[in-house]
Structure 1
Amino acid sequence: GALSSTPQTPTLQAALDDRAWHYAIDTASGSVRMDALDSDHSFVFDLDPMHGTVGVAPAGGEVHSSLTPGAWGGNMDTPEMRAGATCYLGVNVPGAMFSFGDGHARQGEGESCGTAVETAMDSTVVLDVVHDYVTPWPRIETDAFIMTTGSARPMEDAFRIAHTEMVHWIAELTGMSTSDSYQFVSQASLTPVANAVDTNYTVVCKIAKSHLKGAPVYGGMHDRLKAL
């Protein structure tokens, strides 16, 4: 987890105990229950299913562990990857080799202890190819937001990637200069930390679509996919 010693950030503190929490999922009520291990406390959270890993094959013939997020997507662990979201990924090899998994019944931003409510999951996914658009890093669109992602260590570089990508995207969507888009993103963005525990950290930059004055995003692909 993010609050314990790692090989990259070693300390002299003893390791945390190896323990497991079992969550009770109630699909009928749309909830999941956490029972504390060291007391009689119990908490009920809303289900918020998402996939931690969504990606394609990396460029350049590279091979990465499925735990590693990057420009190809992968284990970004962002709760934004829930039902109703459209994820845009650049195609690096013939056939793209799309894959996804790491089902989470819910997860807080940052996944701070290293795990979500991990679970098996049945998912329905619609795939399509969008031509004439360049997507250097994964992007996400929902009804309310457009989002860019950055995955790197240190986390400030993940932040820089996500925000740089958003500045370029806003310039593309609005026709504004890079400088004006930089100022726009500085005032309008939300920046949740997706994960602070993987081999690369992931940061998301979000802009409300209400700010975009109807600018078309990927030719309206999100709305077309929703209609299927």
Structure 2
Amino acid sequence: MKDMSEFPAESIRVPSTQEAEAQANRERRERRAVLEAILYVTEDPLTIEQLALGLEWPKAEVEELLAALEAEHQRPERGVEVRAVAGGYRIATKPEHHEAVRLFVKFLKPPLKLSLPALETLAVIAYKQPITLPEIQEIRGVHAAGVIRTLLDRKLITTAGRKAVVGRPILYKTTREFLLQFGLNELNELPTLKEFEELSRAALGEAEAAAAPAAGPERMAQD
């Protein structure tokens, strides 16, 4: 093994403090981007503990990165924000942009012309899928067999096998047509229940929606 003294001093280069700080900043920005991507694609709010465990990062670092993301998304030019919800964090559209989003979605697609019961049932399926007819009826408190047939005919829902319980009831889930009608790429882009109601009113038509406020999503949120 050669003695290090044999090498010229200029050939042994130690990164400067400035270079080390620059590298640390790059790694921090990369981790912040990873965290943002995970919050974006995840359906449910994620806790700091879940993020730290799943990413194998220290909790203190996750907290620091979340704070940085929250501050970054508070800038007025950002349309979404990192929101603390039910003890966790998720990315959601800013309230001040909800009306613009609603109008744009209404402009893109023709109204679904769904009845209020059909819209309520669709909301239950969207957030609880896969779900059976008895489970839907338990949440809504009314019979839903006819509404299910309507949603199947409109290709907004489809069957998803049978549940392994007594009677083996059919499971239902939403379809690609549902995603198209509500301007979503994937199910993990489902908005909050309040935002879903706003988008639903655009699909249903303002006059009919205003006549009787939806009760299904509110009941579902309590279950």
Instruction: Name the TM-score class by shorter chain.
Output: under 0.3
Query: When you count helix as a share of all residues, which structure comes out higher?
Result: 2
Query: Which protein has the larger Cα radius of gyration, Structure 1 or Structure 2?
Result: 2
